[in-house]
Amino acid sequence: MNIRHQFFLLCLFFSLATINGQNHELFKVSTGMDHIQLTSFENTPSTLYVKIFKDDGSGMELYAGPVHSAEMEDGKRYVLKNLTPELWFTENPVLYRLQIYSDKRFNKYIQDNRIGFRSIESRDGRIWLNDKPVFLRGIAINPPGRGIPTEVERSRTFAYDYVSFLKRMHVNIIRIPDDHTWYDVCDELGMMVFGGNYSSRVNGLHPPEPPAYETSVKWYKETKLGPISYHPSLVIYALTNEVSYVGTAAEKWLSFLNFAYPGIKSWDPNKVIIGNAGYGYGKSGDIEDLHRYWGWYYSSPYTYLHLRDYDSITFPDKVQPITFTECVGNYTGPDGRYNLTPAHKNPVSQMCWTGHASQDLQAGLADRHQAKTLRNATELFRRLRPINPELSGVFPFTILFYNWHTVENFQDMDPKPAFAQVERSYQPVLLSWESWKYNNYAGNDVEMWAHIVNDSEDFSTLSAGLMEVELRDETGRTWLTRSVRIPEVPYYETRKVPVRFSLPENLPSGKYVVLGTLKNNGRKISVNQEEIFIADEIFAQGKQVTIKNVQLFDPNGSTAASFDLLKTGYSLTRLTEVPDIKWTLIIGENTAGELDESKIMVIRKFIENGGRLLCLRQNPDHEELLNRFLPVKLRFPKMDVDDPSYPPPLRPSGNGYHLNMEKPDHPVFKNIERFMLERWSDYTGWNESMPGMPEIYPVKSGFVLKNKQDMGSTSILANYSVGLEGIALAEFDTGSERVIVSGLDLCLRTSVDPVAARTLVNLIEYAGGDILYPLHTHINYLVKWGDYDSEKGMLTGIYSGLMLNTSPVLTGSYREKEIIVNELGHQFAEKPGGWNNRAGIQYVPYGRRVFGPYHHDGFGGVARPSNNDDSPGEGSFWCTVTPGTNLIANKVWNPADTALEIKVYCNELLLGTKILEPGEVRVIEDQFDAEDSRLKISYVASRKLVLLETSFHTR
C-alpha cells in the first residue's frame, strides 16, 4: 500500500469517527481480567494505538502503545493481552479509561471509553466473577421505561440515587434496558447488570429463518450488544425473552439460537449468555434461566422447595447455573392494593391472596403476601444450595415502589414494605430461619433451624461465633433469650444449625417473632426473624357451649383422639341404625372409605329426617361415594397447589392456604382472624432436607360445586385458590336441617396447632348447637357492588357470574388518558396492559359486570367467557329480604359508546327490560311478588354494563 493510499484510509477513518462533533463508536470494546478486545466492522487500519489509565483522577497509566489487528470474516479484531490491572468487583469497582488513537503520536483520540477489567463465566454449575463464585441477588423491574417522566429517569442524578439505594438493600445485579447513563452509574457503583434483547424479535424477525441467520447475529454485534459491551457492569446478556418453547415455532427459535450463541460467545466471551430468557431451559446459552411465579398466581411460595430435585428444573444430564430472572410477581399499585388490571391474572390472584377482606385492609394484606413470597423465593434459592449447588440467582419481578409517573426525583418513589424484606433476605451473610410450626401452644417446645449462608462481599470465611435468639411480642417485649454457637462457614457455603427452646406457659395469646442476631467478634453480621402465633389451651378449646349429643363415626380412631384432646364429648356410632335427630352426626376425618351401602342409607335417612350432619375432611378418591349421601354434588380436585409444572394444570388445587372467610361473623370463625388461616403448623416432623413437602396447608381436600345451580342451597363459608374457586368449608340446606362439609386438615394437627384446634371446636359447637346461621345474606341496606364489606359473602368465586369490574385511577400525567372499553367490557387506560411498565396506573374495584357463564383459563386463571358467541352475559345472587318487600332498585352504568340492554329477573320471572344509552347512569326499579323472603335475583345483560348498587324497598 503506497503512502497516498494509507493517508486516504486514515482520513476516511477519522471522518467516520467524528460525526456531529461526537465520538462514533467505530470499535466495539470488551475486556477480560488481563486483556482488551476491540472489534471493528469498518475499514480500519491494521494497527491502532491505545492509552489505558485509571479513571480516578490519578492518571496512573496501565498501557500506552500499539495494538495489532487480525482479520475476521466480517471485520477486524484487535487484542491486547497480558495486562495487569486492578479488577472490577462489586465492592471495589475499579475503572480505567481506554483511548484509541489512529497514530503513534497520540495527538487526538478517535474513541474514548471507560472500562473495567473483570471476567464472568458459567462453570461447574455456578457463575464466577473474577474466579470467585457469586450468587446473583437481583431485582427485575427497574427504570428506565417504567413510566417515570423521561427527563427524570434518564438523568444521571436519578439513576445514581436509585442504584445507590439498591446497593444499600444488598442488591448486586439489576435488569435494565440499554441506556448508557444507567450503565455508567452501575459501572461506578459496582452494580452488575442483566441486559438483553427483551423482545420476541431479532432484527425485526420472529424468528429469523436460516437465510437471515448471519445478518441477525451481525445485528447483535453491531447494533444491539456491541455498543454497550464495554461496560464492566454488563455481565449477563439475553438474546431473546420468553419466545416459544413448544411446537414448531420453538424448534425454529432453538435452531436460530443454537446458531447465534456460539458466534456471539466467541466474539464476546466475557458475557454470560442466556438464549431464551425465562423459557429456554438452558438449551442455548450458559444459564438455565426460568420465569416462575410460584407463590403468586401460580402455586405457593413453598413450591420453591422443588428447587431441590424437580426433574424439569435440575436436569441430571446438564450442569448449568439456574436462575429465575422473573419470579415473585405481586403487582401492587400506588395505593398498595393489588393492581386489578383487567383480562389479566392480577384480579384472580388478588382474590387468592387477600380475598374479600375489607378494602381498608387490602393494602396491608398485599404487602404481607408480597414480602412473604419474596422471602421464600430469595431465601430458599440461597439456603438450598447445599442440596442443589446449581442455584445461582434470583430476580423478583415485582412492584417495589409506590410512585412512578408522578415523581420528580428518586426520593419521591417511596419504597414499599417489601424492601425491608429485600434488605433482610439479600444480606451478604444471610441468617435464614426454617420453621414449619407457625401456630404454637404456650408451654410447648419449638424446634427451628438457622441456615447461615456466606456470600460475603469480601469472599472471606465466616469464623465461628454466637447467634442471639429472642422471642418478642408485638410490643417488642422480650420473653426469652438464647445464645446458640455457630460453626465456621467458608465463603459460598451454608451451615444449618438447630435451635430449640421451650415456650413459657404464661405467654399471652398473640403474634410473636423469633429474632436472630448473628455476631462475629462482637460485630453484628446478620439479622432475621420468623413470625409465629402462640396461644394457650383456653384459646384452642374455647368455652364449651351447650351442644346436642354428638355421634361420631370414626373407625380409624384419629378423630376421636382429637376430640378427647379437646375434651369434647361424643358417642361412637357404627351407623347400624338411623340416629335420632336430637343427635348431631359427625363423619370423622378420612373415614368415607369405611362406608358401605347400608351405612350410606343410614346417613341419607338421617338427613332426610332433619338430622344435622358435619362431614369432616375426606379422601378425594371417595368423591363418588360421598356424593351418594351429600345434598349437593361435589367435585374434589386433585391438583396439588405445589405442582411446579409449566404451564400449570387447571385450578383450583385440592389443597391450599390463605383461606378467605366469606362470612367472618359466622360461628365457625369465632375468635379466628384472617392471618391465622394463612398456613398451619406441620404435624409430620418434616424439614427441608427430607423428601416431599410439609403438611402446612389448612385445606387438604377442597371441593367445588358440580352444578352452579346448587348455589341456591349453598352457603360458602371459606374458599381459596385462584379466583376463590375452591371451597374449603360450606353449609348446605336440605330443607329442614343443615349439612356442613369441611375440606380442612384438622384432626391430625390438633395437638400442635391451636388455630386448627379452635377451628375444629367451633365446627363441633356450631354443628351441635341450636343456632342456625342464615344460609343467605339478608339485605336491608344499600349494596355497593365491588365493595366486599357491602357484598357480605353473596358473591363467591365464579358461581354468581357477576365478575368484579375494575376501572383505572388516573392521576398526574396519566389524568388525560382515554379510558377504552373492549368487546368484553374490560376498561383500560388507553390500551391493555401496563401493570409493570405503567405501574402508576392503579385499577380498582368499581361495580360488577354480568360476565357469566365464565371459567378461569389454565394459564394464569384469567376469566374467559364460557360461550364464545355474542350472547349476553348472565349472573345472579341469592339473598333474603324483609317480608313484604316488593321492589328492587339497581343502579346501572353504561360505559360503552353504544346503547345496551339489561333484563332483571326475580326467582326466574322476568321483571323488566331496560335500554341504557351510551354513558348513562340510571336507577332501574322493578316490582316483584315473592311468597318467600328468600330471593334469587338474576340479570341478563351486555358484559359491558356495570352494576353499581342494589337495594330493596317496599312499595
Rounded distance between C-alpha atoms, residue 670 and residue 763, angstroms: 10
- Report the pLDDT averaged over residues 279-301: 93
Q: What percent of the chain has pLDDT over 70?
A: 97
Q: What pLDDT score was predicted for residue 771? A: 85
**Confidence tier at 412 by pLDDT (50, 70, 90):** very high
Contact present, 695 and 656 (Cβ < 8 Å): no
Burial category of 161 from C-beta neighbours within 10 Å (exposed 0-12, middle 13-18, buried 19 and up) = middle
156 by Cβ neighbours in 10 Å (0-12 / 13-18 / 19+) ranks as exposed
Give the three-class secondary structure for 430.
Answer: strand
Q: Give the span between the Cα atoms of 265 and 272, in whole angstroms.
A: 8
Q: How confident is the model at residue 15 (pLDDT cuts 50, 70, 90)?
A: very low
pLDDT in tens, 193-249: 999 998 889 999 999 999 999 999 999 999 999 999 999 999 999 999 999 988 999
Quick check: helix, strand or coil at residue 179? Answer: coil
Q: What is the pLDDT of residue 543?
A: 62
Among 68-72, 658-662, 743-747, 949-953, name the one with the lowest average pLDDT. 68-72
pLDDT of amino acid 520: 83
* Bond prior to 504 in cis (omega within 30° of 0): no
Distance CA 459, CA 537 (A): 49
pLDDT (tens digit per residue) in 879-902: 999 999 999 999 999 999 999 999
Contact between 255 and 219 (Cβ < 8 Å): no
Tell me: pLDDT of 88 over 90: yes
Claim: this prediction has a pTM higher than 0.85? yes
Chain centroid, CA 719 distance in Å:
19
Per-residue cell: 621: 378418591
Q: Which helix (H) or strand (E) holds 277?
A: strand 272-277
Q: Tell me the C-alpha distance between 496 and 487, whole Å.
A: 9
Task: Say how far residue 560 (Cα) sits from the centre of its chain.
Answer: 39
Per-residue pLDDT averaged across 357-386, rounded?
97
Q: How does residue 878 score in pLDDT terms, banded at 50, 70 and 90?
A: very high
Q: Cell numbers 420528580 label which residue?
A: 408
Q: Which three cell numbers stand for residue 334?
A: 400506588
| Per-residue pLDDT band at 648 (split at 50, 70, 90) | confident
∠ at Cα 734 (728, 738), nearest 5°?
Answer: 55
Question: Grid coordinates representing 67?
Answer: 495494538
Q: What is the pLDDT of residue 276?
A: 96
Which pLDDT belongs to residue 547? 67
- How do residues 335-362 score in pLDDT, each as one tens digit? 999 999 999 999 999 999 999 999 999 9
For 491-544, the pLDDT digits (tens) are 999 999 999 999 999 999 999 999 999 998 888 999 999 999 999 988 988 765
3-state secondary structure 285-327: ECCEEEECCECCCECCHHHHHHHHCCCCCCCCCCCCCEEEEEE
Average pLDDT (846-872) is 89
Q: Read off the DSSP letter of residue 17.
A: H
380 burial level (CB within 10 Å; 0-12, 13-18, 19+): buried
Cα–Cα distance, 672 to 670 (Å, whole number) = 5
Compute φ and ψ for 795, nearest 5 degrees.
-115, 110
Show the cell assigned to 631.
345434598
Of the pLDDT bands very low, low, confident and very high (cuts 50, 70, 90), residue 74 is low
Question: What mean pLDDT is predicted for residues 844-860?
Answer: 92
Per-residue pLDDT, averaged over 620-632, amounts to 95
Nearest to 80 by CA among 29, 144, 123: 29
DSSP track, 76-133 = EEEEE----PPPB-SSSB--EEEEEESSTT--SEEEEEEE----EEEETTEEEETTEE
Q: Give 12's pLDDT tier (boundaries 50, 70, 90).
A: very low
664-686, pLDDT tens digit by residue?
Answer: 999 999 999 999 999 999 999 99
Q: pLDDT at residue 113 above 90?
A: yes
In the chain, the N- to C-terminal Cα span, in Å, equals 105
* Angle, CA of 258, 390 and 304, to the nearest 5°: 105
pLDDT at residue 17 tops 60: no
**Structural Rg of the chain based on CA atoms:** 32
User: Given this model, what pLDDT does residue 114 score?
Assistant: 96
Question: Alpha-carbon distance 355 to 724, whole Å?
Answer: 7
DSSP code of residue 385: T
Helix (H, G, I), strand (E, B), or coil: what is residue 455?
coil
Q: Dig out the grid coordinates for 172 from the structure.
A: 448486586
Q: What is the predicted pLDDT for the residue at 75?
A: 76
What DSSP letter does each residue of 871-925 carry, written as one string?
Answer: PPEEEEEEEE--TT--EEEEEEE--SSS-EEEEEEETTEEEEEEEE-TT-EEEEE
Q: Let me know: does 272 contact 236? Beta carbons within 8 Å.
A: yes
> pLDDT higher for 867 or 100?
100
Given a cut of 90, is residue 732 above it in pLDDT? yes
CA-based nearest residue to 511, from 379, 673, 664:
673
Chain mean pLDDT for the chain: 93
Neighbours of 682 (CB within 10 A): 20
Q: Quick check: 829 pLDDT over 50?
A: yes
Indicate if the pLDDT at residue 18 is higher than 60: no
Question: What DSSP letter does each residue of 505-558 carry, written as one string?
Answer: TTPPSEEEEEEEEEEETTEEEEEEEEEEEEE-HHHHH--PPP--EEEEE-TTSH
- Kindly tell me the sign of the dihedral angle through the C-alpha atoms of 401, 402, 406, 411: negative
DSSP readout, 622-660?
Answer: GHHHHTTTSSS-EE-----TT---SSPPSSPPSSB-S-E
Q: Can you read off the three cell numbers belonging to residue 49?
A: 494505538
pLDDT at 52 over 50: yes
